[in-house]
Amino acid sequence: MSASPPPSSSSAPPVSQKAFHVSWDQFHRDARALAWRLSASGPFSSMIAVTRGGLVPAAIVARELDLRLIDTFCVTSYVAEGVQGEVTVLKGVAAEIAAGAGAGVLVVDDLADTGATVKQIRALLPKAHIATVYAKPLGGPLVDTYVTEVSQDTWIYFPWDLGLSFQAPIADARR
């Protein structure tokens, strides 16, 4: 799968140079690995999935940790690949879950990049346990648990954003 170079913008974080393509199988394994790590933390009474990317790992982690009370925190910030706009909260969390500043609440997202999204969640729920599958150096220190770190100049391509496509033989590039 080839990656088109991301667009640049003066307000954007460092333009990604590298591409990390994640298959469904790999994502499932990494989300399970996150659940294994989280099983040593907690216990958690409820979960918050950070939409949209957090919905997929949240389902996998909830299944592994037998969590059934799940809310969403609906937020968006990236307007295009590598181009971050304002972090906009479209929907907060239910009062009963937010009660107690998030104590006993597990928050799950697919990744922490600049950490802007995690900062929003931390401000709302300072006692929550925030977990992501992947993290970049700026976001990783703000997260309580993650599985794999990639460099800041790597763009992660998630399986729900990918499709199968023809690959030209390597020899073609040398002609």
Applying CB under 6 A, the residues found at the interface with ligand PRP are 50-53, 76-78, 84, 109-117, 139
At position 7, the amino acid (one-letter code) is P
Asked if residue 156 binds ligand XAN (CB under 6 A), the reply is: yes
Nearest to 154 by CA among 13, 25, 32: 13
Question: Using an 8 Å Cβ cutoff, are 57 and 108 in contact?
Answer: yes
Start-to-end Cα distance in the chain: 20
- Annotated catalytic residue 110: yes
Q: Supply the minimum distance, in Å, between the C-beta of residue 86 and ligand PRP.
A: 10
Active-site residue, 109 included: yes
Active site residue 161: no
Of 25, 30, 71, 110, the active-site residue reads 110
Task: Determine whether the annotation assigns residue 103 to a binding site.
Answer: no
Among 113, 120, 131, 143, binds ligand XAN (CB under 6 A): 113
Q: Point out the catalytic residue in the list 109, 144, 153, 161.
A: 109
Choices 25-33, 59-67, 94-102, 154-162; region in contact with ligand XAN by CB under 6 A: 154-162
Query: DSSP readout, 104-168?
Result: TEEEEEEEESSSHHHHHHHHH-TTSEEEEEEE-TTTGGG-SEEEEE--TTEEEE-GGG-------
CA 70 – CA 58 distance, rounded (Å) = 9
Amino acid at 19: A
Residue at shortest CB range from Mg ion: 53
- As annotated, the binding site for xanthine includes 113, 156
**Which residues of this protein are in contact with ligand XAN, per CB under 6 A?**
78, 111, 113, 155-156, 158, 161
Residues carrying an active site annotation: 109-110, 113
